[in-house]
Structures are given as C-alpha cells and as structure tokens.
Structure 1
Amino acid sequence: MDAAHPQGFTAQTTQTTRQQLRQQARLKRQALTPQQQEQASKAVLSRFCQLREVRQSQHVALYLNNDGELDTEPLIEWLWHQNKNVYLPVLHPFSKGHLLFLHYRPETKMHCNRYGIAEPVLDVRLVKPVHELDLICTPLVAFDEQGQRLGMGGGYYDRTLSQWHHTGTGPRPLGLAHDCQQVRHLPSEAWDVPLPAIITPSAHHRWSSS
C-alpha cells in the first residue's frame, strides 16, 4: 500500500475524492447567508482574541477572505487595534507555488492576483521573511477530525509551512474555517501539512499542545 494513501486510496482516486470534497465544502460555505457570515466572523473573533498564541504574537500573517471563506476583516482590525503587525500573502513573482508575506496597513495599495484575489502590490521593502513571522493564519477548504487541511490545490501553504512541519521551528500555523467545512476524513498526500489548531465559530480544535 502506498504510504501516502494509508486509507487504501490510489493516487487517482485520492485526487478525485479530494476534488469532490473540495467542491462540496466550497458550495456549503458559499451557501451561507450574509447574516450567517457575520455571525460566524464575530464568533471566531471572540475565540481568536483569547488565544494565547495570538496574544503572544507580534507579527501575524492573515489573508483576505474569498469564495465564501470566513470574513477575516474583523480579525485584522482587532490586531491593528492591539498594535500588532499584520501581513498578507502575495504570490511569489519568480518562485512558482510560493508565497511572500507583505506588511499590511489600511493604506496599503492593493491589486488582484491571477486568481482574482486581492493582495498588496509587491514592494520588497514590505516583505517579511517567513521565519520572522510568529503566527500564520491559513485559509482552508475543508478539514477533518485529525487536523488534516485541504486547500485549493496549489500547495502554497504546504510549502510555506514545510519547515514548521518537519522541524517544529518557524511560525505556528492556525487554521480558520466555518463549521460546515469539517469532514470526517480527508485522504492525504505526502506533502500535506496537518494543522495543530483550527478555530471555527463553535469550536477550538487543537491537536498539539506545543
């Protein structure tokens, strides 16, 4: 049996299943009403601002929500009010599949990347090396009971978090999601990075005390 597919999935069926789960989870979060989205964001903010890892962090990477994702604007504004530094991901212009993280302020100039997602206009003076971040809040499409994360398929965050995954050093990841994005089991690939913690409107899931 392939070690990357311990549940008996072949590579082809794993990819098919992951794509089906990805589509199902996206449809669920897209179906949330504006009122449900607002309530979810407030509930996550309440949990977020109480987390020890958030309070102890000065340099926090977040992202701007898209495609029905949990609204992160209240989290960003709360961090600003706490005089913490916020960073947003930018697609690396030369290293395919990798991210840069730029300091983000209300006056930051923005544009849309090739996926139609707003990101800061690249300015090398604003780039924060990943190892200097304290916390990386990651988007996700679905997650399971073991903390396995399913993204959009580009592998950007798996690459970003690979050092943390293999050595336990670098910024700690924290997943953000709606409750409806949880599934029982995700077929995983060898390069997938499970998350130590994910917060949703109704729960703080934690798989690691480190």
Structure 2
Amino acid sequence: MLRRGILSVRSRLTPGDLRETATALAVRALELPELAHARTVAAYVSVGSEPGTLALLDTLRARGVRVLLPVLMADNDLNWGVYVGEGSLARVQHAGKMALLEPVGERLGPEAVQEADAVLLPGLAVDRRGMRLGRGGGSYDRVLARLERAGADPALVVLLYDAEVAERVPEEPHDHPVHAVVTPSGVRRFR
C-alpha cells in the first residue's frame, strides 16, 4: 500500500518538477565527500517519475569517475556496464516490467559492483533508521547481499524526493540500511 501511494504521488509530477528536482539532487549529491573522492560509482538511470539521475551521472563522468550502471538479468539480478554518456544507453523492455535505460557494450558481471566506492540506490522511501523501501523486485537486495558477502563497504546512498523520508518503512530480515539519503533539500546521514 505504501508503494502504491508513493508511486501515485510521483505520477502527478510535471516535467518541470522532474527537471527541477533532478538538478537539485545532482547539486546535493555532488556535495557528498563519498562521491567527491570516489573513483568508481555504481548508479542507475532514472526512468519515468523517479528522482532524476542523468545530470548527476554526466557530472560524475566529467570528473573522471567510472560510473557503473545496472543491466537487469532474467532472474532479477543485476549485471553491470560502464556509462559513457547518454548516447550509450538503450531502452530495454523487460517482460512484465517497466522499460529501463541500460548501458550498451561490455557486461562486467554481477561482481563488478564490488569495485564501487559508492552505490547510488533507487528507492521509494527511507526511514529515520536508514531502512530503504524499494520497488519489491529484490534486485538491489541481491546487490547489497553480494557486497556484504565480499566484505565490500561502499557508501550506500538513496536518492529520493523530500516527502519520501518517512518515520518508518516495512523491514525484512534481508534488508540493509543505507548510509545517507539525498533529497532536493539536503542530505541526511544514518551512520
């Protein structure tokens, strides 16, 4: 029910709202020391009414940061490819899911995320403990479990709209808290 409510609010955002918040998110995110010093960042390309990421991805790339983007596999796990600009993205329609923008070119494997100094996560909400509510597909739960098994400890940052920071979101045993949330109005840290 919480997911449906958030998606309903997002669906009412205008193109102007989306552009404005994408710019503000990029500015706020780029202030994070974790991104300022990162050599590799695993991120994602926003689609639809998700908080916009392309301005952030382009700025990171212009700074010389290696940006990894996910490629959804049939089992909902994520493979990774390198972002080399908006022209290197293809719209891919996955059966029964929304169309995603994915990098074309070489696939680096699911383990490539372990090279990231920071991981930017999509989400629908985060609570005061840093627990993230995703869309429910489990793709990023697999990524976070893979990082934990490998002993990798990148900064975990979720990008959201201001109203999506909640008092509490549902939590399952496999959920991992994030380190920070970036919204158009600022950054909130959790540990």
TM-score range, shorter chain: 0.7 to 0.9
CA contact (8 A) 1:29 1:180 kept: no
Gaps of 5+ in 2: none
What is the aligned-residue RMSD (CA, Å)?
A: 2.2
2:88 corresponds to: 108
**Structure-1 separation of matches of 2:151 and 2:55:** 29
Q: With the length of structure 1 as denominator, give the TM-score of the two structures.
A: 0.80
Q: With the length of structure 2 as denominator, give the TM-score of the two structures.
A: 0.88
Distance 1:36 1:162, change over 3 A: same
1:134 aligns with 2:113: no
Aligned length in residues = 187
1:36 aligns with 2:52: no
Larger Rg: 1
Distance 1:195 1:165, change over 3 A: farther
Gaps of 5+ in 1: 1-19
Q: After superposition, what is the alpha-carbon deviation per residue over 1:56-81, rounded to whole angstroms, capped at 9, x for unaligned? A: 10111111112311111110111122
- Secondary structure of the structure 2 residue equivalent to 1:63: coil
Paired AA for residue 92 in structure 2 = C
Q: 1:1-210, aligned counterparts within 5 Å? A: 20-93=1-74, 96-106=75-85, 107-108=87-88, 110-114=90-94, 115=97, 116-121=99-104, 123-124=106-107, 129-165=112-148, 169-208=152-191
The answer to which of 76-85 and 34-43 deviates more is 34-43
CA contact (8 A) 2:130 2:178 kept: yes
Specify which structure has the higher proportion of strand. Answer: 2
CA contact (8 A) 2:125 2:133 kept: yes
Q: After superposition, what is the alpha-carbon deviation per residue over 1:80-103, rounded to whole angstroms, capped at 9, x for unaligned? A: 22111111100135xx23111110
**Structure-2 separation of matches of 1:51 and 1:138:** 15
Q: After superposition, what is the alpha-carbon deviation per residue over 1:115-174, rounded to whole angstroms, capped at 9, x for unaligned? A: 311212463368871211211100001222221111111111111012545786243211
The answer to which of 71-80 and 120-129 deviates more is 120-129
